[in-house]
Structure 1
Amino acid sequence: MNGQDFNLRHLRAFVLVCRLGGITAAAEAVHMSQPAITQAIAKLEASLDEKLLVRSSRGMYPTTAGEMFVHRCDRALNILKQGCADAATRQKAAATARFDTKISSTQLRALIAVAAHGNFSVAARAIGISQPSLYRTARELEKVSGLTLYRKSESGYDPTVAARILIRAAKLSFYELDQALDELSSFGGAHSGRIVIGALPLSRSVLLPQAINMITQAFPDADIQVIDGPYDDLLNGLRHGEIDLMLGALRDPPPAEDVVQTPLFDDRLGIFCHPGHPLAGRDNIPLDELIQYPWILPRKGTPTRDQASAFFRANGLSDPTRVIETSAIILVRSLLESGGRLTMISQTQVSDEVKLGVMLPLPIEIGDTPRPIGITQRTDWQPTQMQERFLQVLRQVSQTLD
């Protein structure tokens, strides 16, 4: 089971029972019969295998598990409510009033799938339903919301701006429900949990291995996913609830208003070569000799590449013309071994390679300012117990890298 499997109407009924203290009051507010609400709560309890509500002389109140679940449900529904309002405002259309109370998880899954694949047939196959069923569901969402969600293009169907706003809200809403499932699992005594980490180059080779080894000692059944990729792709995943946190070099200024950055330690850059390189072991190396050799550098637009360009400019040199672009440390090391190349890279990132004697720092002062390495997360992120413990572990490990 995951967050997309919940019936949103059932969740609204459950939240109102907790808030109003009884089924009768909730039935009037959510426009459902009392037997329907009773059945909805029974289905929720059965699917979660948890008792969520208890009855007393003063009404119905959530259990401890119910308190945990209603908190996440409330967050999920509020995110969806705000997303629907923002989508309607952005399109400036006569959207149905409070249409967030009228849409379903099935409709939102259809919207997400069509936007991801740009084609109804491909999207239908991806989520395992028939094309006519998906098409009908997708168009029902447009009718219920009063919004135009798809635009025909040469490549298929593109989501409108309103659709993209609604998609982000839906993904974040489903994310909160996934968090609820993790919390209830931990509440039941399982040494598990789930975390998805967007890993930038430095974190993959130094910080993450130690942190993952430590967290799995406390949570041996944890589901840990590490995703690497360009910074912008990881940031997009973070902001859409597909990634829990990003780990690596922080940006100045912060990349978006809805994320917050927490520094863990500072890092410096260095110029490195293979011990067999012609410049190895030399002192007082003329800087103009550096550009006579081929280089290995991260792709353009990354902080390290920007710093490399600034270093060459500050010393009156042109950028190297023979450059292999990569941030993969294994590839960097192999390329240094196989040719007379140089690289500018994080000193922390290659500390093990230097200790092993397979990479050698050149005695050249780059003049860079320390780069903060840390965590990027959504501003309103509320981590689960396992995720909070992982943050503590990251801080622990980072203290050994200062």
Structure 2
Amino acid sequence: MLNARIKLRHLQAFLEVARQRSFARAAERLAITQPGISKTIRELEETLGASLFDRTPKGVALNQAGLTLLRHAGPALRALEEGVQAIGDTDGVRQLRVGALSTVESRLLPDALRGWHAEGTPHADVGVSVVTGPSAFLLSRLRRGELDLVVGRMTEAREIQDLAFEHLYYERLLLVVRAGHPLAGMSPLPPEALSAYPWVLPPPRTTLRQQVDSFCVRHSLALPARRLETLSLPLSRGYTLGSEAIWVAPEEAVVESLAAGELCELALPLEQQGGSVGLCTNATLRPSLALEAFCERLREVASRLGRGAPSP
């Protein structure tokens, strides 16, 4: 049980001093006197029986006890603020911040958003802001609290670490070419034949590129000098349809073009099972009801697409 002597003002003062690393600046931000904020921090330290800050020539710094309190007090106050805001939010103006990797931009996320904003749904008035980019960029923003959720294939990303990941389905990377390409329909396809054509592939230092590099090592291939490195699906598709390029494509991004006969999958698998596509959240932050509902929407769409169960 929380000590009754610890008040909201104690935690607010603590968090502001931790942010500003200065009693004077924190007092200015909270519109109180410096002796007042010093007294508030002293009361908190006496109640806890521990010092929270070390005084340095450049200001103050959190010690180990302070870091421990910060890890818990910050998310708790943010959750409280969200609750108060939700109660007082009479016009329903809220927004989810979602990070999306290229592996879910074509079907999973668009389908989920269409259902989310359908007329009459419980959260139709909740806006969604979508940020795209490589997993390292999106996961770092999630860790800092700048995103509520990241969706995509990211299990190989080192940046997941203490974040919470929930598997939805496995998805393969495919080698695809335009219809009528010299390699289309060739089976068996010798790996060395790929070197004669331009490639479209994910940029270096991305989780998808790791799989391409592994494929090249397995087949003793060197990446061709003629290559386009991008995460843009429209650019990749347009370039591939108008050239003899080989596109390393997420299955979701090309499934409709394959069915329509615009693109052809080469008879040389880049990977067998594929990577795990799922939801990544910041476990230190309490999810809002809207976020929980949006995650459930994503699960429903994944199941409807026939991908709810893991591959054997």
Is TM (by shorter chain) over 0.5?
yes
Provide the residue aligned with 2:193 in structure 1.
289
Which of 276, 294, 297 does residue 390 from structure 1 map onto? 294
Which of 64, 78, 99 does residue 198 from structure 1 map onto? 99
Provide the residue aligned with 1:91 in structure 2.
none
The alpha carbon displacement at 1:281 in A equals: 3.8
Q: Structure 1 339/379 Cα, relative in aligned 2: closer, same or farther at 3 Å?
A: same
Q: Structure 1 104/220 Cα, relative in aligned 2: closer, same or farther at 3 Å?
A: same
1:102 matched to 2:5:
no
Q: How does 1:50-199 map to 2 (within 5 A)?
A: 100=11, 102-103=13-14, 105=16, 172=75, 175-181=78-84, 183-184=86-87, 193-199=94-100
Q: Structure 1 148/271 Cα, relative in aligned 2: closer, same or farther at 3 Å?
A: farther
Bigger shift: 364-373 or 225-234?
A: 364-373
The alpha carbon displacement at 1:337 in A equals: 2.6
The alpha carbon displacement at 1:358 in A equals: 3.3
Provide the residue aligned with 1:364 in structure 2.
268
Provide the residue aligned with 2:47 in structure 1.
none
Are 1:295 and 1:324, in contact at CA under 8 Å, matched by a contact in 2? yes
2:138 alignment partner AA:
L
Q: Which runs of 4+ in 1 moved over 6 A?
A: 133-136, 142-145, 148-151, 165-171
Write the distance in 2 (CA, Å) between the matches of 1:203 and 1:326.
Answer: 16
Are 1:191 and 1:220, in contact at CA under 8 Å, matched by a contact in 2? no
Are 1:273 and 1:359, in contact at CA under 8 Å, matched by a contact in 2? yes
SS class of match (1:296): strand
- Identity among equivalent positions (%) equals 24
Bigger shift: 253-262 or 214-223?
A: 253-262
The alpha carbon displacement at 1:211 in A equals: 0.7
Are 1:250 and 1:263, in contact at CA under 8 Å, matched by a contact in 2? no
Provide the residue aligned with 1:315 in structure 2.
219
The alpha carbon displacement at 1:173 in A equals: 5.9
Normalized per residue, the structure richer in helix is 1
Which of 206, 215, 224 does residue 116 from structure 2 map onto? 215
SS class of match (1:398): helix
SS class of match (2:109): helix
SS class of match (1:350): helix
The alpha carbon displacement at 1:150 in A equals: 10
Write the distance in 1 (CA, Å) between the matches of 2:116 and 2:57.
Answer: 43
Which of 117, 132, 155 does residue 228 from structure 1 map onto? 132
Unmatched runs of 5 consecutive residues or more in structure 2: 42-51, 308-312
TM-score (norm 1): 0.59
1:270 matched to 2:171:
no
Are 1:298 and 1:327, in contact at CA under 8 Å, matched by a contact in 2? yes
Write the distance in 2 (CA, Å) between the matches of 1:226 and 1:342.
Answer: 29
The alpha carbon displacement at 1:250 in A equals: 3.0
Write the distance in 1 (CA, Å) between the matches of 2:204 and 2:57.
Answer: 34
1:305 matched to 2:209:
yes
Write the distance in 2 (CA, Å) between the matches of 1:321 and 1:149.
Answer: 54
Q: Structure 1 203/185 Cα, relative in aligned 2: closer, same or farther at 3 Å?
A: farther
Write the distance in 1 (CA, Å) between the matches of 2:6 and 2:251.
Answer: 59
Unmatched runs of 5 consecutive residues or more in structure 1: 1-15, 21-25, 32-72, 78-98, 112-132, 152-159
Q: Structure 1 289/182 Cα, relative in aligned 2: closer, same or farther at 3 Å?
A: farther
Write the distance in 2 (CA, Å) between the matches of 1:302 and 1:334.
Answer: 22
Write the distance in 1 (CA, Å) between the matches of 2:71 and 2:182.
Answer: 53
TM-score (norm 2): 0.74
The alpha carbon displacement at 1:207 in A equals: 1.0
SS class of match (1:366): coil
1:265 alignment partner AA:
Y
Q: Structure 1 317/199 Cα, relative in aligned 2: closer, same or farther at 3 Å?
A: same
Q: Structure 1 146/110 Cα, relative in aligned 2: closer, same or farther at 3 Å?
A: closer
The alpha carbon displacement at 1:243 in A equals: 0.8
Write the distance in 2 (CA, Å) between the matches of 1:149 and 1:389.
Answer: 46
Write the distance in 1 (CA, Å) between the matches of 2:62 and 2:199.
Answer: 42
Deviation track 1:171-198 (CA, whole Å, cap 9, x = no partner) reads 7466434532453257x6x666431111
Q: Structure 1 206/181 Cα, relative in aligned 2: closer, same or farther at 3 Å?
A: farther
